[in-house]
Chains A and B, each alone.
Chain A
Amino acid sequence: MTDLMENTLEEDTQKDRFLTFLLGNETYGIEIKYVTEIIGIQAITQVPELPDYIKGIINLRGNIIPVMDVRLRFKKEAKEYNDRTCIIVININDVSIGLIVDSVSEVITIPEENVVDPPKMGNGFNNRYIKHIGKVGDDVKLLLDCEKLLTEDELEELNESL
C-alpha cells in the first residue's frame, strides 16, 4: 500500500521536469522520468550491421548499453566528440539506451500551460520525435518523444529496405 502511495508522489515530483541538452543551436528536452544517468563520452565498441546513428555499445559498470548519436538520428552533420560531449542514459519500458549529445544544459520545470503542440510542418523529419514545444521565458525548447525515438526505428528499417 505504502509503495503505491510513494510511487504516485514520486511521479508528481518528476512531472513537468525536463533535462535539456544542446544539439548545435537547438535545445531539446527529455522528461526526467526516463533519464537514469548522465556520463561523459567513453570508448564505444562498434557493432556491425546497424544503422549509422547507432554507434555501438558501451560498458557501464558491467552493464552493456547501446548508444545512439542523436545528431545522426536527426540527420544533422556529425560533429567530433569533445570533452563536453555527454551520454544521457534513458530507460523506457525496460529498454536502456544512451543518447550522445553535444552538451547537457540543466533540469528545468516547464509547467503545463507553457507546453504546446508542435506545428504540423509538412515532412519535417524532426517533427516525428518532437512531442511538444516548451516555452521558457523567451526561449523555445523542443521536447522529445522518447518512445518514438526508440520504436520508430522499425518502420524506418522497413522503409529503407524497400
Chain B
Amino acid sequence: MPAYNNEPLLEMFVFETTQLLEQLEQVIIHSEQSKSFGPEEVNEIFRIMHTIKGSAAMMHFKDISTLTHKIEDLFYFIRDKEPTYIDYSTLSDIMLESIDFIKLEIKKIENGGKPDGDSLPIKEKIDKFLTFISDPNSQANKSETEEKYKKRFKTTIFFEEDCELEHIRAYTVINDLKNIVEDIYYIPDLEQSDSAEIIQKAGLQIWFTTDRPFEEIHHFLSKTIFLKHLELVELEENKNFNKYLNKTIKAQQKITDTSLEKKDFEQSTYMVSSTQNMISVHVAKLDKLMDLVGELVISEAMVTHNPDLEGLKIDNFNKAASQHRKIINELQDIAMSIRMVPLAATFQKMNRIVYDMSKKLSKEVKLKIIGEETEVDKNIIESISDPLMHLVRNAIDHGIESAEERKTKGKAEIGTIVLEAKNVGGDVLIIVKDDGRGLDKKKIFTKAKAKGLINKPESECPDQEIYSYIFLPGFSTSENVTEFSGRGVGMDVVAQNIGAIGGTVSVDSIPDQGTTITLKIPLTLAIMDGMIVKIGNASYTIPTLNIREAFKPENNDVITDPDGHEIIMIRGECYPILRLHELYKIETSTVEISDGIIVVVESEGKHLCIFVDALVGEQQVVVKVLPKYIRNFKKIRGIAGCTLLGDGSISLILDIADLIKH
C-alpha cells in the first residue's frame, strides 16, 4: 500500500488541504451572505481548488482531484464569462457539499484508510449547474458577454537606469493598473529581495485582461514616472492563455522547489507576505521543547538551591545564578508563546455551523465574534473545538426561538449568538451567549428530581445549582430527539472535555432573555510561580497569583464564632481560617495558631486565611496533572494538580478557588 510509505507527505497533504478547505468555507459563506462572488473571491476559490487538485492527483486520490477539477472548470467559466445570473444559494450549496465530501475523504485518510468515496453525484450536480448557467436560456447573458469582449495584453515596462527603488515604482504601476483592468499577473514577485534588480534587467512584465481599447491602455501606461521603455502587446484568444502564462512564468521565475511541487505558479505570484514569515512545525517537536524547558526550570532550581551551597557566602555565584535565572525565564516565556495559537480559526469554524443550522431549522441567526485574537495553547484549541460546537448547536436548537415567537416577544427577528474570548488573570474566558428563550428552571428541576438527583425543595436550590444539572450525563429536558440534540449527551461531554484540560464550565440564564455559558480555562497549564509550604511532612504549593500576604499570627488574634469556625481580624476585616491539616487529615505537631503561619489568599474577590506549619520558599514550579487513575476516581477538593520539587519530592498544588467555594 503505497500510501503508508508516504507518511510525512500524507500528513502534509492532510494538514494543507484541511487549512485550504477551512479558508474556502469562510470565503463561500461570506460571499453567499453578501450575495456576490467578486473576482477576488473567485480567484481565491480557483486557486484553492487548483492546489488541492494538484496535490490530490499527486497522491493518487482520483475522486478528489476530478471533483476539484470540475469545480475549477465551473469557476473558470464564472470568472471568464461572468454570467450575470447565478443562483448563489445553489452554488454555495454545491460548494459546501463538495467541501464536506473532501473533508470526509480526508478524515478517512487521516485514520489510515483509503478515500473510497464516489464524487460522481456531486460532479453530476456541478455539470447540471454549469449547463444551466451557460445555457442559452439566459440569452441576454451571451450577447452581453460578447460585447464585453475581453482582450488580453502583455506589457513590459523598463524604468530609467538610476531611478532606484524599481520595485516600489512597479508596485505603483500595478496598483494603478488594477483599477482599470482585471486578472493581473506579473513578474517579478515584488516581495522578492532581488525584485528591483530583475526589473532593471528584464523589466516589469505584466499580463492582464481588459475590455478597454489598446490606445487607452497604452496612453495610461505611458504616463508612468521614470518610464524608459514600454512594450504593449495584445495576446491571442483565451484558451491557451493560462498554459502560455504557466510556461513563460515558470521558465522565468526561480521556483524554489521544496519536496512539495504542489504549489502552482498562481500561488507564488500572489504570495502573501505573511506566509513567507511562517513555518509549520510538528507539534511533537513543540511538546518535546516544552518538556525540556520544564525540566530546565526544575534543574535550575536544583542547582541554585542546592543543599551543598547552603550557608556559603558566594556573591559572584549568586550574581551569575540570577543572570542564569533571567535567561531561563525568557526562554520559558518564548517556548510557551510558540505553542499559543489565536482562537480565530476555531471561532470562524462556528460560522459554518451557524450557517448550516439556521438553514436547516429556518431560524435566522447571526454570529458575533469578539476577541478572537486571544491566544491559547495549541492543546487547548483542540479540546475546545468540539465543546464549542455543542454549545453553539444547543444555542440555536434550543435557545433561539423561531422568528414568529421572537416577534411576539418583542425581540429582533434575527437571533444573535455572541462568541467572546478574553484574558482574565491566569485564565482564558470563552463565553457563548445567546438571546434566546433561556433555560427553563422548572423543567430542569423537575427532571432532576425525577432522576433522583435533588432531595431538597425548589426554594432551597439556588438558580446556579439548578442550571448546573444540565451538565450531568444523560440529562435533557427535550421531549424529542432531533438530528442535532435532545439525547442529553452534549452538555456532559462539554463539561468533561473542559475538565480534562483543567477548566470549568458555568451557566447562567434569564428566562426569555437568553443563556450565557462561560468556559474558564487556565492559560498556563505548564509553569507557574508558587509558594511552597509545609504541613507536617507534606509539602503543598500555593499559586503566587492568589497570595495577598503572609504573617505569623498571635493566639488572641483569632476569634471562634458560635459554629466553631475560626476567624481572624486583619486591618478591620474578618477572614475565615482554614486549617489545612484538619481538612486533609495530615499529621502535624503544629496545631497552635502561634506556631504556624497564616497565608492570606484571594480568588474572585473572596479571601481566605490558610493555616500552615511553615513557608519553605517561592519557586517556579512545573504543573503536572494528577494521575488519570485518581482523576477518574474523584475530584479532590482544593487540589489542582501536583509538581515535582527540586529534590524530587512531590508537592500538591492547591486550587484556591475551590477551597474558597467550600
Query: Using a CB–CB distance below 8 Å, which chain A residues touch chain B?
Result: 1, 43, 45-50, 54, 57-59, 62, 64-66, 94-97, 150, 153-154, 157
Contact = CB atoms under 8 A, between A and B. Distances in A.
Interface string B593-629: 0000000000000000000000000000000101111
Given A49-B637, A59-B649, A95 B632 contact: yes
B586 A46 contact: yes
10 contacts: A45-B642, A45-B650, A47-B626, A50-B634, A54-B630, A57-B626, A59-B644, A59-B650, A62-B295, A95-B629
Contacts of A45: 538-539, 642, 649-652
B627 A65 contact: yes
Contact of B633 (A46, A50, A64, A65): A50
Contacts of B418: none
B650 A94 contact: no
A35 B233 CA distance: 78
A115 B168 CA distance: 84
Given A1-B4, A95-B628, A97-B629, A62 B644 contact: yes
A64 B627 contact: yes
Interface string B152-188: 0000000000000000000000000000000000000
Contact of A64 (B538, B539, B624): B624
Contact of A153 (B4, B583, B633, B637): B633
A157 B586 contact: no
A62 B295 CA distance: 9
B278 interface: no
Interface of B: 1, 4, 295, 538-539, 583-586, 624, 626-630, 632-634, 636-637, 639, 642, 644, 648-652
Contacts of B633: 50, 54, 153-154, 157
Given A64-B626, A64-B627, A47 B634 contact: no
A49 B642 contact: no
Contacts of A97: 627, 629
A150 B629 contact: yes
A97 B639 CA distance: 19
Given A50-B634, A59-B648, A95-B628, 13 more contacts: A45-B651, A48-B586, A49-B584, A57-B650, A59-B649, A59-B650, A62-B644, A64-B627, A64-B650, A66-B627, A94-B628, A95-B632, A97-B627
B447 to A, nearest CB: 21
Contacts of B583: 48
Contact of B627 (A1, A43, A96, A153): A96
Given A66-B630, A96-B628, A49 B636 contact: yes
Contacts, number: 70
A98 B407 CA distance: 62
A57 B624 CA distance: 12
Contacts of A43: 649
A58 B650 CA distance: 7
A37 to B, nearest CB: 15
A9 B648 CA distance: 38
A1 B440 CA distance: 54
Contacts of B585: 48
Q: Which 5 A-B pairs have the closest CB atoms?
A: A48-B584, A45-B650, A66-B627, A66-B629, A95-B628
Q: Which of B4, B634, B639, B649 has the most CB of A within 10 A?
A: B634
Contacts of B649: 43, 45, 59
B639 A48 contact: yes
B465 to A, nearest CB: 19
Contacts of A150: 629
Contact of B629 (A49, A62, A96): A96
Contacts of B629: 66, 95-97, 150
A47 B639 contact: yes
A62 B4 CA distance: 34
A46 B538 contact: yes
Contacts of B1: 1
Contacts of B4: 1
Nearest to B584: A48
B636 A48 contact: yes
A122 to B, nearest CB: 28
B116 to A, nearest CB: 18
Nearest to A3: B4
Contacts of B628: 94-96
A70 to B, nearest CB: 14
Contacts of B295: 62
Nearest to B622: A62
A46 B649 CA distance: 11
Contacts of B632: 95
Nearest to B4: A1
B639 A57 contact: no
Contacts of B539: 45
Contacts of A65: 627
Contacts of A1: 1, 4
Contacts of A58: 650
Q: Which of B637, B639, B642, B650 has the most CB of A within 10 A?
A: B650
B652 A47 contact: yes
Q: Which of A47, A58, A96 has the most CB of B within 10 A?
A: A47
A153 B539 CA distance: 27
A47 to B, nearest CB: 7
A95 B631 CA distance: 10
Contacts of A47: 626, 630, 636, 639, 652
Contacts of B538: 45-46
Contacts of A62: 295, 644
Q: Which of A43, A49, A66, A154 has the most CB of B within 10 A?
A: A49
B536 to A, nearest CB: 9
Contacts of B584: 48-49
Contact of B634 (A46, A49, A57, A64): A49
A105 B373 CA distance: 59
A141 B69 CA distance: 67
Contacts of B637: 49
A154 B632 CA distance: 9
A45 to B, nearest CB: 4
Nearest to B627: A66
Nearest to A92: B629
B418 to A, nearest CB: 38
Nearest to B652: A47
A47 B585 CA distance: 10
A153 to B, nearest CB: 6
A59 B626 CA distance: 11
